[in-house]
Structure 1
Amino acid sequence: MHWIDPACLPETKGAVTQFLLDPHGDPDGFILEGERQVYCPPHLGARIAQRVAPGDIVIVRGIKPRAADIIAAISITSQDGETIVDDGPPRDDDEHERPEAEPHATEVAGTVVLSLFGPKGELRGALLDDGTSLRIPHHTAEQLRTYLTPGARVQAWGDLVETGYGRTLEVSEIAEQADIDTDVGTGA
């Protein structure tokens, strides 16, 4: 959003809890204070990851959609005072190297601690209690809203990408997590 002056936007300050990843393993956002999602455009992911680490205090200036507790970042000021501003996507010759992360099919299970959204407030997934983010296309996520609400216990299958920044599952199937405390089929 290179046309917006970040100085006129409200600021939010907090500690980065963890990064969120796109399907290629690039950071495309982070969680502040364990409870608020900050969306960053894909072209800023590598720059942000070079300047910001979990535990750092950052100042984010951005736009908050009406329907979701997310900030679409326009600028991020790192703990050392450097400000990264969204000047729009790079020209073709400015492409960055992608992390070497090969997706592999797997399943994950856990409790949803936070619903995840796109920059306009559209539901796009969830964050599990083990730090794994679940990514689901918006049109599908709306239909599966009950599985993506905090407190939901889910099991999901899909392609997992894991890097030093975190892990994300591109979900192909999702279900309510079976209760593992019952003695099913043991006759007990």
Structure 2
Amino acid sequence: MNSDTLETAIFAGGCFWCTEAVFLAIKGVVSVHSGYIGGKSVNPTYEEVCSGISGHAEAVKIVFDPKIITYQTLLKVFFATHDPTTLNRQGADIGTQYRSEIFSTNAFQSDLAKVYINLLNGEGGDENKIVTKVSEAVTFYAAEIYHQNYYNRNKAQSYCHFVISPKMEKLKYLFEMYLKDKIS
């Protein structure tokens, strides 16, 4: 695989454990790293981000091969596997660190994300407006090592079982044609 042809997408869609698990399962995704973006402090820690004082969002940095999976398809997966209509919240996870935000790495991504949000807003009616923000990517800070590949290493943990596993089932149902392997 030629690294010159790879692209990067950065999505914040609630808990990064959930978002990471979803995108790790997609064909054409080379790597996914959990981390923090969009805040004011340098090298934030998990504790700082969870406190809300850093201003960062929990996010994932996705390296993908656009010859195998398009950015458009990644957007579809992103919007289908979290609730983009709730401000600073995903399920029981509440706070600005759980916001829905797309950090575009180029003008094409920004334009495409905005068009897609407008399309979804046109379909959803007033009560289901997308609150996902589109911002230019800034420095992405990798999360601590124990957060990386969390779901695959901790499937028996209750949060994984009750929160992430249903997202994985939804992914399998909606996007089976894009999956690397069967989700167990």
Name the TM tier (shorter chain): under 0.3
Which structure: larger Rg?
A: 1
Which structure has the higher relative contact order (CA within 8 Å, separation 6+)?
2
Given the two structures, how large is their TM-score scaled by the length of structure 2?
A: 0.24
Say which structure is richer in helix.
2
Say which structure is richer in strand.
1
